[in-house]
């Protein structure tokens, strides 16, 4: 048990795998209204993975989109708009927004 605790104290970085693929993935980030997002090619034809990063250095909010790449971009922008609207409403009412 002591060895395990010693190991976890030494490890400082974490790798998160959100989906198993046999390919390496390169993120090409785009910014919309101050929020970064990426459109990733899915595992099937006409399937895209949208990932928005509203908070830097945290896990993204992700969604799978079936259709064209432009539909995936539209979905990402819609997700960002909804998140910003939720933050704006929370700020006006004096509530703190949860991390989800």
pLDDT at position 70 over 50 = yes
Alpha-carbon distance of 61 to 70, in angstroms, equals: 19
The string of pLDDT tens digits covering residues 22-64 is 444 556 788 899 999 999 888 888 999 999 998 878 888 999 9
The per-residue pLDDT for 47 is: 93
Task: Classify residue 8: in a domain, yes or no.
Answer: no
Would you say residue 62 lies in a domain? yes
Is 11 inside any structural domain?
no
80, 86 in Cβ contact below 8 A? Answer: no
Instruction: Please report the beta strands in the chain, taking only residues with DSSP state E, as ranges in sequence order.
Output: 30-32, 35-41, 47-53, 61-66
Q: Report pLDDT digits (tens) over 9-21.
A: 443 433 444 454 4
- Residues 32 and 77: beta-carbon distance below 8 Å: yes
Residue 21 belongs to some domain of the structure: no
Range of the domain at 81: 26-93
Report the alpha-carbon distance of residue 48 to residue 77 in Å, rounded.
14
Question: What pTM does this model have?
Answer: 0.63
């Amino acid at each position: 048990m002591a060895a395990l605790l010693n190991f976890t104290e030494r490890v400082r970085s974490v790798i998160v795998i959100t989906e198993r693929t046999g390919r390496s993935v390169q993120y090409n980030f785009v910014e919309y209204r101050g929020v970064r997002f990426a459109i990733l090619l899915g595992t099937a034809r006409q399937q895209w993975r949208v990932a928005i990063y509203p908070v830097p250095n945290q896990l993204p909010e992700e969604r799978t989109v079936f259709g064209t790449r432009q539909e995936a971009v539209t979905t990402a922008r819609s997700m960002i708009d909804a998140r910003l609207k939720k933050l704006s409403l929370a700020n006006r009412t004096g509530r703190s927004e949860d991390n989800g």
